[in-house]
Structure formats: C-alpha cells, structure tokens
Amino acid sequence: MLSTVHTAFPLNHQKPYSAHLCSLSSRGIIANTSLLLTPTRPRSSPSLCAALPTDASSAAAATVREESEEGAALPSLLRQGPLPKHVAIIMDGSSRWARARGMPSSFGHEAGHRALKKIVELSGRWGVRALTVYAFSSENWTRPEAEVDFLMMLFESVLKGSLGDFMKDEISVSIIGDITELPQSLQKLAKEVVDMTKKNTKLDVLVAISYSGRRELKRACQNIAQKVKHGLLAPEDITESHIEQELETNHIEFPHPDLLIRTSGELRVSNFLLWQLAYTELFFTKTYWPDFGEEDYVEALHSFQSRQRRFGQRLN
C-alpha cells in the first residue's frame, strides 16, 4: 500500500498531497504522516512492512528503510560487487505520468527534474563517476510548441539555479547534442556552466539536449572527412578509435556507459548514445521517471551487479 502511495503522488508537492495524507491518517492507514513528507527519511511504520511485495524491489526498499539517512553510505545490498562507473538514463514517462493525474506535461517535467536531482545526488554519494541523461532528443522538437518552450525554460532555470550545487558537489556538467538548435540564451548559459564546472572531478554529468546518436556519428564522419581531405588520414586507415575520438563523450574518463536505465516500460534505445552502448547492460523498468527514486535506483544497480559481462569472450 505504501508503494502505491509513493507512486501515485509526488512527495514534494505539498498542497494536494497533504490533504490526501490527512485522509489516510484519519483512516488509520498511515501512522505518522510527517515521515512521508520528507523523502530522505525512513519510509514506513512497521505495520506497513507486511503489505510490501516480496521481491528484489522490496529487498531494496528494506535496505533503504534501514539505512537511508542524510549522508548514509552505500546501501548494503550494493556492497557485494562493483558499481557501474558510468550510468546512462533515458528519463521517459514524465508526460504520461502527468496525464495520468490529469495535469499538463509541465507538471510532469518539473517532477522529473526533482527525480533527476535525487539521482545525481545519490550517484555522487555512492561513487558513480559519470551520469549521462537523455533530457531532450532531436525527435522531441516535433512536440507541441508550448511543451518545447516550457522545457527550454526549465533547462535554463535548472542550470542557473543548480550552479551552486554543482560547485559544492564537485560535479562537472557537459552538454551533448546539437546546441545550435537551442535558444540563444540557453546556449550562452550552457557554455558558461560548462566552463565554470569543467575543473570538477567527482562526477561527470552529461546532459543530452537536442541529441541524436546517428547525427553524432554523422558529425564524427564529417570531422574525419575533413582530416582525410587535409591529407592527415587515408580512408582505408580509418579505425574505430578514430571515430571514438570524435564522439562527444570522449572528454570524460569513462566514456562508455556500463548501465543504461530506461523508465516507463519502453523497450528501446531510441537513438541514444548509439556507439557508446555497444556493451552496456540494459535495465528497463515500468516506473515512470518522476517516480524513479532511491529504491528503483538500488534495484537497477543491483541488477547490474548480478550480471555476467563477457564482452564476446568466455568466462572460465
């Protein structure tokens, strides 16, 4: 039952939620409503434990309940093996999440931003070194103009508002994709944020805006064609590493994602990091992005740890 509450309402959106909590509390369903308003506190009273489903996600939930306090170390479920160095996320489902609540898509995107903030914080805390998120694909330009304008404004306000957090948490931000298609003000702001954060080394966050994997490869091909024309390289000598050097992810320490998470139940890669995903473990979850929280992240990371990666060879 608690999990239904968690997925049905955003934890931070106070007004309609507090009314719902009061009704749940008056019916004796929730013992202590104040616990539910603060996302990082332990999540339930003992009477609700029995209601949770017994599977990996509840093991994750149990871990989170036991240890999720401010500044907690890695959950014990994840201590068995190595974490992925680079996690990529396709943050899908914000519009559908909003529609399911009878709200406009902007409501969903804002909730999505809050979820992203949480995941960035957890990644930094747990030692993930790079996080790439698919914020806006080149196909998304065909969405309604109002939604696109809202998203551009959201990106600007997030970049402006979070610069302090990036510096405090030593996060370096890069933007991948065709930024020339973005509004001028956003382009300028993006360049400033990238410049100011480039010396940070704890976590590399790459935000894919107006991004298409195929176009990234086309640009790599164009750059290589220029080198060939200049006589620096013969066409028959072009190798995979020449192409790697031209990709937009080549400037970070771990350019290839170890784990890709896609929310909202879609089973596709959708033109994201085409080349870089060659050996990436894929994790799909039906949860919509605004509901993707610490438990879901632990489940995804745990799933990664339980996989045997062979890269085409044999494990003996």
Partner 1 sequence: MAFSCFVQGDLALQLEALAICEAFLKALELCVDLSVVESDCKIVVDSLLGVTSAPWKVRQAVSEEFNSSILKMEKHGRNLVCKIFQSICHFLRRFLFLVLSFGPIPTHIAFIMDGNRRYAKKQHIKEGTGHAVGFATLLSVLHSCYEMGVKYVTVYAFSIDNFKRKPEEVQVLTDIMKEKIEELLEDESIVRKLGLRISFCGRLHLLTDPVRRAAEKAMASTAGNTGPVLFVCVAYTSTDEIARAIGKECARRIEGTRTSSTPQEIASSISVADLERSLDFGDCPEPDIVVRTSGESRLSNFLLWQTSFSHLQNPSALWPEFSVRHLIWSILEYQKVHPYLQARRRTASSKKDD
Residue with Cβ nearer partner 1 (126 or 275): 275
Contact with partner 1 (CB under 8 A): which of 17, 107, 284, 289? 284
Q: How many angstroms separate the most distant Cα atoms in the chain?
A: 77
Residue with Cβ nearer partner 1 (25 or 270): 270
Q: Which residues contact 99 (CB under 8 A, 6 or more apart)?
A: 105, 108
String of contacts with partner 1 for each residue 204-243, x by CB under 8 A: --------xxxx-xx-xxxxxxx-xxx----xx-xxx-xx
Which region, judged by CB under 8 A, interacts with partner 1, from 80-88, 108-116, 127-135, 276-284? 276-284
Nearest of 86, 106, 63 to residue 261 by alpha carbon: 86
Q: Is 313 in the site for partner 1 (CB under 8 A)?
A: yes
Q: How far is the CB of 303 from partner 1 (least distance, A)?
A: 9
Residue with Cβ nearer partner 1 (20 or 219): 219
| CA atoms within 13 A of residue 256's CA, in its CB half-sphere | 11
Q: How far is the CB of 228 from partner 1 (least distance, A)?
A: 5
Reduced 3-state DSSP string for 115-182:
HHHHHHHHHHHHCCCEEEEEEEEHHHHHCCHHHHHHHHHHHHHHHHHHHHHHHHCCEEEEEECCHHHC
Number of residues in contact with partner 1 under rule CB under 8 A? 49
- Mind telling me the catalytic residues? 92
Contact with partner 1 (CB under 8 A): which of 139, 170, 195, 253? 139
Contact with partner 1 (CB under 8 A): which of 8, 35, 49, 278? 278
| Distances, alpha carbon 305 to alpha carbons 79, 118, 131, 176, 300, in Å | 10, 21, 17, 28, 9
Pairing of strands 86-90, 171-176: unpaired
Q: How far is the CB of 284 from partner 1 (least distance, A)?
A: 8
For 34, the enclosing helix (H) or strand (E) is helix 33-37
Q: Is 142 in the site for partner 1 (CB under 8 A)?
A: yes
Q: How far is the CB of 252 from partner 1 (least distance, A)?
A: 19
Tokens (6 digits) for 71: 């500044």
Site for partner 1 in 46-65 (CB under 8 A): none
Contact 183, 149 (CB under 8 A): no
Residue with Cβ nearer partner 1 (107 or 284): 284
Contact 172, 197 (CB under 8 A): yes
Residue with Cβ nearer partner 1 (32 or 279): 279
Amino acid at 234: A
Amino acid at 230: H
- Phi, psi (5° rounding) for residue 62? -65, -40
Q: Is 283 in the site for partner 1 (CB under 8 A)?
A: yes
Which region, judged by CB under 8 A, interacts with partner 1, from 54-62, 107-115, 155-163, 270-278? 270-278
Q: Which residues contact 113 (CB under 8 A, 6 or more apart)?
A: 154, 158
Which region, judged by CB under 8 A, interacts with partner 1, from 7-15, 20-28, 85-93, 278-286? 278-286
Taking the CA atoms of 204, 205, 210 and 216 in sequence, report the sign of the dihedral they define.
Answer: positive
String of contacts with partner 1 for each residue 242-261, x by CB under 8 A: xx------------------
Contact with partner 1 (CB under 8 A): which of 33, 103, 277, 305? 277
User: Residue numbers of the site for partner 1 (CB under 8 A)?
Assistant: 138-139, 141-142, 212-215, 217-218, 220-226, 228-230, 235-236, 238-240, 242-243, 266-271, 274-275, 277-284, 307, 309, 311-314
